[in-house]
């Protein structure tokens, strides 16, 4: 018996044990009928294999949420913002990550809705039996999101670089197409690099006003001969006051949400 058949047999036995008293389970019968639970009567995968696929997706779901969404950009910007203000542990990392996750859900809601409506929903309801077709329809909105963000930020050179290292001829970029030449193995790392570059550019702009305050405070302290007083200790209240007066959290969150959603709205004919 192969490894796959063994796994499926164990899954079938677990499913049977969940609804059957322990003393009434016949292991030999489970082994004999193990192959019968794999395919469905209509050629689709059986419930046991569907459970295994679901568990596999759950294991890679955190990576998908982090690397294939706007989470990377948001969490990096918020982390740089915390360093720019000078509060090394405030807000706590749990708050930064939690806020980044919630903002990611806001920015990704159209894409996630499209993934469910086109692929996951029909498959879960049994309307679509072909797993490969369901996968293609599910990943298409996510591919469209990543491609749109790469083009909107002008980081198509990340895609070209990865294609070049994979042995694809990139001498004439006009001949390359997203559909034929760029698969997920190329698109996902290119998207992550694009998001990191964009996040650091936004972080640099966030840093500038706080850097000016630090330089002004340091110059004033030096001119007054107060060399022993740390400039960061004096500038922190002023940076906090400036950030609160301009409603900084709302500005940063609104800019991040708009930066992600605006290209998608323009692509779909929105304003």
Residue 58 lies in a domain: no
Give residue 232's pLDDT. 75
Domain count along the chain: 1
Residue 89's domain spans which residues?
44-53+70-266
Residue 61 lies in a domain: no
pLDDT digits (tens, 9 = 90+) for 64-110: 778 888 899 999 999 888 888 888 788 888 999 999 999 998 988 88
Residue 1 lies in a domain: no
Strand residue runs (E) in 9-96: none
Residue 86 lies in a domain: yes
At residue 46 the predicted structure's pLDDT band, cuts being 50, 70 and 90, is low
What whole-number distance in Å separates Cα of residue 11 and Cα of residue 45?
Answer: 13
DSSP code of residue 129: -
Residue 35 lies in a domain: no
At residue 178, does pLDDT exceed 70? yes
- Give me the mean pLDDT over the 7-35 stretch: 44
Query: Distance of alpha carbon 38 from its chain centroid, rounded?
Result: 32
Q: Tell me the DSSP string of 173-222.
A: GGG--HHHH--HHHHHHHHHHHHHHHHHHHHHHHHHHHHHHHHHHHHHHH
What whole-number distance in Å separates Cα of residue 195 and Cα of residue 37?
Answer: 44
Give residue 47's pLDDT. 63
What whole-number distance in Å separates Cα of residue 58 and Cα of residue 36?
Answer: 26
State the pTM of this model. 0.70
Residue 38 lies in a domain: no
Residue 123 lies in a domain: yes
Mean pLDDT of the chain: 75
For residue 42, give every residue at least 6 positions away whose Cβ sits within 8 Å of its Cβ, in sequence order, or none. Answer: 129
Residue 202 lies in a domain: yes
């Amino acid at each position: 018996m192969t490894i796959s058949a063994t796994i499926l047999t164990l899954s079938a036995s677990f499913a049977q044990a969940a609804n059957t008293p322990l003393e009434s389970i016949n292991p030999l019968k489970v082994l004999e009928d193990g192959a019968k639970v794999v395919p469905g009567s209509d050629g689709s995968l059986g419930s046991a294999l569907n459970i295994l696929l679901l568990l596999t997706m759950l294991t890679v779901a955190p990576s998908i949420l982090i690397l294939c969404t706007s989470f990377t950009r948001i969490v990096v910007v918020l982390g740089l913002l915390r360093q720019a203000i000078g509060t090394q542990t405030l807000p706590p990392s749990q708050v930064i990550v939690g806020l980044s996750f919630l903002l990611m859900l806001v920015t990704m809601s159209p894409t996630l809705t499209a993934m469910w409506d086109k692929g996951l929903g029909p498959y879960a309801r049994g309307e679509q039996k072909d797993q490969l077709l369901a996968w293609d329809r599910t990943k298409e909105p996510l591919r469209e999101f990543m491609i749109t963000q790469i083009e909107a930020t002008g980081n198509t050179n990340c895609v070209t670089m990865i294609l070049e290292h994979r042995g694809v001829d990139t001498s004439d970029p006009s001949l390359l197409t997203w559909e034929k030449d760029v698969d997920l193995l190329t698109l996902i790392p290119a998207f992550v690099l694009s998001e990191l570059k964009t996040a650091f550019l936004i972080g640099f702009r966030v840093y500038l006003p706080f850097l000016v305050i630090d330089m002004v405070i340091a110059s004033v302290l030096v001119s007054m001969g107060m060399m022993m007083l740390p400039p960061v200790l004096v500038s922190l209240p002023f940076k906090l006051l400036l950030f609160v007066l301009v409603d900084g959290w709302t500005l940063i969150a609104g800019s991040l949400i708009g930066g992600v959603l605006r290209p998608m709205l323009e692509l779909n004919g929105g304003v």
